[in-house]
Homo-oligomer: A and B are copies of this chain.
């Protein structure tokens, strides 16, 4: 048998694979205040909410040649309007060109996650809490943007990133040990609105202790200018604002006790209800979470507790709506083999969110949140 015999070219279905997941939710049980809502988290919170598909994802991905990896992820729960829900819209559409044979150096083109924050990089398929925390998700609503990104990670660490996902430890996937990106900066699925790209950089490292425990720490920062949308009542005369942040992360993977915390500070547009105008203000906030990953027969149960605090604007909401958030979540995820997960969270929420239309709005309330997740 010759080693030089020609290899049959791969079939399309050996190069590309299709998989996905979906999250069906109901948020209306044990609700104490139907006026309490969270636009960024889940539009089915509160008044007139009902059954809701929060995410429906179909992922087309694969190593389509020795140097090109593709990842195209439409979401099928995107809403054009209240009467045109469940449209298909891209979340990710990126194309990785490996610069070396070991794929330690990669250039990524297209729409993909902006490398800022651990929880942002971690897939919603894996996250314990139903929604990402406001302080670290507000800089990159929907986590993604369109641009060019450079990633570097040694092959050994690439394997560790892969293990942290495949093992069920809920890692972030491989966004490099070092990352540098240029992107439009108006968040995913929105047209660029000024002439300057944003710049982001991130350094992360998953240290493995002698006892096997893995601890990951990261630093990240970005800067750019953001164009906001305004209500007619907003007295601001400009729309283009400074938008920059720096953040730190620590993750102790749940083997079985885990801990996760992120914090960031920066500057950005924020509505000021006293002057009825949007202006650049300092912002800061973070979250901390403790979790315990328990095997029960063949399955896993992971109770967790998470607290978040955020004081700043949300640039992607009307007027760069002002926020003061103090939320506590107590929940548990029950994972049935690899195909079904059920999560219940009791949320104790205290939110002030104000814009030109609603310049005085402080809501306090509790609710039970339920999610069934299906993996395929």
Contacts and interface: CB of A to CB of B under 8 A. Distances in A.
A70 B53 CA distance: 14
A86 interface: yes
Contacts of A372: 95, 109
A97 to B, nearest CB: 7
B56 A72 contact: yes
A147 interface: yes
A376 interface: yes
Contacts of A20: 72
Contacts of A12: 13, 17-19
A16 B12 CA distance: 10
A321 interface: no
Interface in A32-90: 34, 43-44, 47-53, 56, 58, 60, 62, 64-65, 67-68, 70, 72, 74, 76-80, 82-90
Interface in A140-172: 146-148
Classify chain A's interface size.
Answer: 35 or more
A273 interface: no
A89 B90 CA distance: 11
A60 to B, nearest CB: 7
Contacts of A109: 24, 372, 374
Contacts of A18: 12-13, 16, 18, 60
A82 B84 CA distance: 14
A60 B58 contact: yes
